[in-house]
Amino acid sequence: MDFQIRPVDPAEHDELGEITARAYLQDGLLTFGESDGYLGELRNVAKRAAAADVLVAVEDGRLLGGITFVPAGGPLADLARPGEAEIRMLAVAHAARGRGVGEALVRACVDRARATAGCTGVVLSTQSLMHTAHRIYGRLGFRRAPERDWNPVPEHGDFTLLTYELTL
């Protein structure tokens, strides 16, 4: 691994926000494209960093990607139960894909969860089209939890997010 994982620096918030937004847009993961309301959330790294741990992968001063780790009970948790941490908004720049960046970011979150007192598991939501991410989760021991699948925007029809969980 020729890159490092570390907390995001406030000076990198805008750049990471753009990497995240571009990854979701280029992969066709936003139902309404450039007009999707979630795009603002993806770009708002400062908001995430104020309420959770945002980690980045960096190589020679260049951001390769990022992820948000929500400790148990954090305000950004969508579906975490008591004692569970949650992972959100994994994104890797297209030019950095295929190098293990995404897996290293997820691994760093699992390590943080293991180091968190009282944390018994990690949970995350993912879209059905995120096949590369699904493979990462499987390699790291996450299992599908279909009984926890959910729709964050029911007013827009069937948009089911798949749930994966890891017991620590």
Question: Domain 4-167 classified CATH 3.30.2270.10?
Answer: no
CB 56 within 8 A of CB 101: no
145-150: Cβ within 8 A, 24+ apart:
148/79, 148/123, 150/78, 150/79, 150/125
CB 92 within 8 A of CB 23: yes
Strand ranges inside the chain, DSSP E: 4-7, 53-59, 62-70, 84-92, 121-126, 143-144, 162-167
Across 30-44, 65-79, 89-103, 146-160, least confident range? 146-160
99 to 1, 59, 96, 167: CA distances (angstroms)? 8, 12, 6, 26
Going by C-alpha positions, the residue among 42, 70, 44, 41 that lies closest to residue 55 is 70
Q: How confident is the model at residue 49 (pLDDT cuts 50, 70, 90)?
A: very high
For residues 128 and 141, the model is more confident at 141
14 to 19, 110, 125, 160: CA distances (angstroms)? 9, 25, 24, 29
Domain locations along the chain: 4-167
Q: How confident is the model at residue 32 (pLDDT cuts 50, 70, 90)?
A: low
**What does the pLDDT read at residue 8?**
98
Three-state DSSP class for 61?
coil
CB 4 within 8 A of CB 36: no
pLDDT tens digit sequence for 74-116 = 889 989 999 999 999 999 999 999 999 999 999 999 999 999 9
pLDDT tens digit sequence for 129-138 = 888 888 999 9
**What does the pLDDT read at residue 129?**
80
CA atoms within 13 A on the CB side of 156: 11
pLDDT tens digit sequence for 10-22 = 999 999 999 999 9
